[in-house]
A and B are shown apart, each in its own frame.
Chain A
Amino acid sequence: MAKNAVDSAVFVPKKKFSMKKTMKNNMGFFFILPWLIGFLVFRLYPFASSLVYSFTDFHLFNGINETGLMNYQEIFTSDKILKALKVTFKYSFITVPLKLTAALFIAYILNFKIKGVNLFRTAYYIPSILGGSVAIAVLWKAIFRDDGLVNTMLGFFGIEGPHWLSDPKYAIFIICLLRVWQFGSAMVIFLAALKNVPEELYEAASIDGAGKWRQFFKITVPMITPVIFYNLVTQLCQAFQEFNGPYIITHGGPRNSTTLMSLLVYNSAFQSHEMGLASAMAWVMFIIVMILTGIAFWSQKHWVYYSDSDGR
Chain B
Amino acid sequence: MSLKTRKIIATILKYAVLLFVGLFMVYPLLWMISATFKSNNEIFAGVGLFAKEPTLDGYKKAFQGFGGDINLVKSLINTYSYVIPKVVFTVISAVITAYGFGRFQFKGRNFLFAVLMGTLFLPQVVLNVPQFILFNRLGWVDSPLYLPIIVPTLFAVDTYFVFMLIQFLRNVPRELEEAAEIDGCNVIQTLVKVIVPMLKPAIVSCALFQFMWSSNDFMGPLLYVSTPSRYPASYFVKLSMDADNGFQWNRVLAVSLISILPSLIVFFCAQSTFVDGITAGGVKG
Contacts and interface: CB of A to CB of B under 8 A. Distances in A.
Interface of A: 24-32, 34-39, 41-43, 45-47, 49-50, 53, 60, 102, 106, 109-110, 112, 114, 120-130, 132-136, 138-143, 145, 147-149, 152-153, 156, 181-182, 184-185, 188-189, 191-192, 212, 227, 230, 234, 237-238, 240-241, 243-244, 248, 261-262, 265-266, 269-270, 275, 278-279, 282-283, 285-286, 289, 293
Contact of A275 (B15, B129, B159, B219): B129
Interface of chain A, main secondary structure: helix
B129 A265 contact: yes
B256 A29 contact: no
Contact of B283 (A181, A185, A227): A185
Nearest to B159: A35
A147 B125 contact: no
Interface of chain B, main secondary structure: helix
Nearest to B191: A31
Contact of B263 (A29, A120, A133): A133
Interface in B37-58: 43-47
B229 interface: no
Given A143-B28, A282-B125, A24 B104 contact: yes
B284 A238 contact: yes
For A29, A130, A138, the residue with the greatest tally of chain B CB atoms inside 10 Å of its CB is A138
A50 B112 contact: no
Contacts of A153: 47
A125 B129 contact: no
Given A38-B155, A45-B130, A185-B278, 14 more contacts: A28-B103, A28-B104, A35-B97, A35-B162, A36-B112, A37-B155, A49-B134, A102-B21, A139-B253, A181-B24, A181-B25, A243-B219, A269-B128, A286-B126
Range for the number of chain B residues in contact with chain A? 35 or more
Contact of B128 (A25, A125, A282): A282
B109 A28 contact: yes
Given A25-B106, A109-B17, A120-B22, A43 B125 contact: no
Nearest to B219: A243
B131 to A, nearest CB: 5
B26 A123 contact: yes
B106 A27 contact: yes
Interface string B229-256: 0000011011001000000010011001
Contacts of A293: 121
The 7 closest A-B pairs by CB, nearest first: A28-B104, A38-B155, A31-B100, A46-B130, A135-B256, A32-B100, A192-B279
A134 B256 contact: yes
Interface stretch (B60-68, B80-88, B198-206, B210-218): B210-218
A133 to B, nearest CB: 4
Contacts of B139: none
B197 interface: no
Contacts of A30: 100
B131 A46 contact: yes
For A38, A110, A241, A261, the residue with the greatest tally of chain B CB atoms inside 10 Å of its CB is A38
26 contacts: A25-B106, A26-B107, A27-B187, A29-B107, A32-B112, A41-B155, A42-B152, A53-B130, A109-B17, A120-B22, A123-B22, A124-B25, A125-B274, A126-B25, A128-B285, A129-B263, A129-B267, A130-B264, A133-B263, A134-B234, A135-B259, A142-B43, A185-B284, A192-B279, A275-B133, A286-B126
